[in-house]
Copies of this chain bind each other. A is one copy, B any other.
Amino acid sequence: MLFCIGRCIHQLATLKEVAKLAKVDSSVVSRVVNNDPALNIKPETRKRILDAVEELKYRPNMSARNLKKGQSKMLGMIIPDFSNPVYSLIIHGAEDQAAQEGFNLLVYSLKQKGLEKSYSPLLDGQIEGLLIANSEIDNKEILELKKTKKPFMLVNRTVAGVDNYVVANDLLGAKLATKHLIKQGHHRIAHISGPLFTATGLSRFQGYREGLQEDNIDYIPVYVQESKYTVENGYESMEILLDLPDPPTAVFASNIMICLGAMKAIQDRGLTIPKDMSIIGVHDVFFTSTLQPPLTTVKMPLYEMGREAVKKLIAIIQGKEGETGQGVTIDGASLIVRSSTSPPPSK
């Protein structure tokens, strides 16, 4: 049963074999392979070594290297769900940056919340740092993690007292959305917010409020519905808004999942978007332009967020930041106007 393992992984040339072929010591090969700057090698010898490396198709054994150096070159990332397109983009950015810096990214989806165990087996040696892009993980657990001094990074979320985080400018994004609606002539603008214990939910709510404020539009509390970031919850929240005696003429959804649900609720009532109701959502993902009608969105720099988070995490791992990074806000929220928003029906 195990007889194959040796064959499968090894059979690759080792340093020693390369050394023998090049007639030098393996330590020299190691230095050449690693481009040791403090190495003064005869060009001829170097060539001989490089040729041997080429001939034997030598590739360093990572386990050995990692063992020796006490590293693993692996990063972990926790997301709530692989099918969530918001996270797809973050992962993509994280992946690219990790690869660029020679790290591997292990992505775990955390279905069951409250799984505090999820990171401890991870951090206890396997991986060098952890990206947490998951609003369902309790603040408490993250504070606990912080005590361990292990490198980690919050992505698209924050926790009071933790300043290793990368977020987007949610406030700006939300304000952009709200002001777009106002500019279209809406006054009765609802907001289906995300959970208001999350940074994204809160910032977008704040952006909505500030947007209204700056244009002197009355804030009507009942127009704000707090919702989880799910299609189902978005649907329910929209229904509540539609049942209001004086329903809004436009709605700003805090997230694409919510937005999807809200659109459906509107259309299930036989209402037409944008004639009867304008709608705008946060996150421009691959299918927003194909919805009916094509959705006006706020595009957040999700890919960049993933990249930046990995960059900072690696910096922390390598001690470049005194182990404690600074919170980073990635700008670049932009409005993408399509057909789900229009002026309100004239009275």
Contacts and interface: CB of A to CB of B under 8 A. Distances in A.
Q: Assembly of this chain: how many copies? A: 2
Contact of A106 (B4, B57, B106, B320): B106
B72 A63 contact: yes
The bracket for how many chain A residues form the interface is 35 or more
B5 A71 contact: yes
Interface stretch (A33-41, A89-97, A159-167): A89-97
Contact of A88 (B63, B74, B83): B83
Contacts of A83: 85, 88-89, 92, 285-286
B317 A8 contact: yes
Contact of A12 (B3, B88, B104, B124): B124
A188 interface: no
A140 interface: no
A68 to B, nearest CB: 8
A66 interface: yes
A291 B261 CA distance: 10
A64 interface: yes
Nearest to A273: B292
A125 B12 contact: yes
Contacts of A150: 8
A129 to B, nearest CB: 8
Given A72-B63, A95-B108, A126-B62, A319 B4 contact: yes
A233 to B, nearest CB: 13
A287 B290 contact: no
Contacts of A82: 88-89, 91-92, 95
A213 to B, nearest CB: 32
A319 B4 CA distance: 6
A51 B126 CA distance: 22
Residue among A69, A82, A267, A286 with most chain B CB within 10 A: A82
Residue among A105, A109, A125, A151 with most chain B CB within 10 A: A125
A5 B263 contact: no
Interface string A276-318: 0000000001110011100000000000000000000000011
A20 interface: no
Contact of A95 (B62, B109, B263): B109
Contact of A292 (B126, B267, B320): B267
Nearest to A59: B124
Contacts of A317: 4-5, 8
10 contacts: A2-B318, A4-B323, A5-B319, A9-B72, A83-B85, A95-B109, A106-B106, A231-B287, A231-B290, A291-B292
